[in-house]
Amino acid sequence: MRNSWWKILAIVCLTYVIIGGFLMPAVDDLGILGKTIRNLHFHVPMWFCMLVLLTVSYIYGIKYLSKGNAAHDSMASSFVKVAMLFGLMGLATGSVWARFTWGVWWIEDPKLNGAAIGMLIYTAYYILRNSIEDEVKRGKLSSVFNLFAFPIFIVLILVYPKMAVELSNHPGTGDTMAFSEFRPTANDLRMVFYPAVVGWILLGVWIATLKYRITEIKRKNEEI
Amino acid sequence: MRKYSWIAMLFGLNIFAQTPTDDFFYSNNKIYVVVLVLVIIFIGIASYLFRLDRKITKLEKNNEA
């Protein structure tokens, strides 16, 4: 197995997060949140992980365009696929959380709609790739698509919600408070939240590299 | 013996008829049972990932040879 120390770190972090997420101190009197504040350790890192995976994909997209190495294209596409998985899990967990705090599965909120549109943009990336047979053409077109998709995605989920004053329920957007502003509560949460972020990101990267390696094996077999 | 009764509980053996309320896994409204279940599931998924990783490494080596 390749470079396994960070894989073990991911498992250690996440085992701690699963146990600590339930048992470590966290406030349970934040209004409608109740004890669901603990979702912070699971729902939020899904998006962080997705962002990291998409960043890696973006970098490899640029690398492919400048060097034309097919392996870079496999890297970019594999990371997008696993990023989509984490994004879907982020949407699903967020929806459940919304149902039991705001009362509905989905609300008209810039953060939610931005994330949904962002997911659709990357769905288009997926469809674009699957519709082109020629390897070089597919690589070039999807890398260029990626080049535009990523900045738009960042604007949709990070910038646009911040500007949506009085439109958003989501914490940390527009004029709503982020969890980090609930002091000293935030420090209790950080004890679990930071390892959660590290653990989930590493797990996502791990799965994405597995996907990449399988894609590469397939591609090399096809060449022969 | 009672201290380790949760091991028996894990395998579904109800060898202690009365509920051992002083037991760790019965405290805090049995939340530790949920934690244990999640840890088991997660370790299962993690070990599957490790095995998958090893298999792919093997495949890569075979392909190079």
Q: What is the pLDDT of residue B5?
A: 61
From chain B, which residues contact A within 8 Å (Cβ)?
A: 31-32, 34-35, 38-39, 42-43, 46, 49-50, 52-54, 56-57, 59-60, 63
Which H/E stretch holds residue B9? helix B5-10
Give mean pLDDT, residues B20-38: 78
**Are B60 and A15 within 8 A, CB to CB?**
no
Q: What is the pLDDT of residue B11?
A: 59
Complex ipTM:
0.72
Q: Determine the residue among A3, A6, A11 to mutate to test chain B binding: the one whose Cβ has the most chain B Cβ atoms within 10 Å.
A: A11
* Average pLDDT in chain B: 76
pLDDT (tens digit per residue) in A110-159: 889 999 999 999 999 999 999 999 999 999 999 999 999 999 999 999 88
DSSP state of B15: -
Q: Residue A102 above 90 pLDDT?
A: no
Q: pLDDT higher for B46 or A176?
A: B46
Three-state secondary structure string covering chain A:
CCCCHHHHHHHHHHHHHHHHHHHCCCCCCCHHHHHHHHHHHHHHHHHHHHHHHHHHHHHHHHHHHHHCCHHHHHHHHHHHHHHHHHHHHHHHHHHHHHHHHCCCCCCCCHHHHHHHHHHHHHHHHHHHHHCCCCHHHHHHHHHHHHHHHHHHHHHHHHHHHHHCCCCCCCCCCCCCCCHHHCCCHHHHHHHHHHHHHHHHHHHHHHHHHHHHHHHHHHHHHHHC
Closest CA to A78 of A91, A99, A93, A64: A64
Residues of chain A in contact with residue B39, where contact means CB-CB under 8 angstroms, are 15, 18-19
- The CATH architecture one would assign to domain A5-218 is Up-down Bundle (1.20)
Q: How far apart are the first and last CA of chain B?
A: 56
pLDDT (tens digit per residue) in A123-136: 999 999 999 999 99
Burial string for A117-135 (b: 16+ CB within 10 Å, else e) reads ebbebbeebeebbeeeeee
- pLDDT band of residue A190 (cuts 50, 70, 90) is confident
**Are A210 and B50 within 8 A, CB to CB?**
no
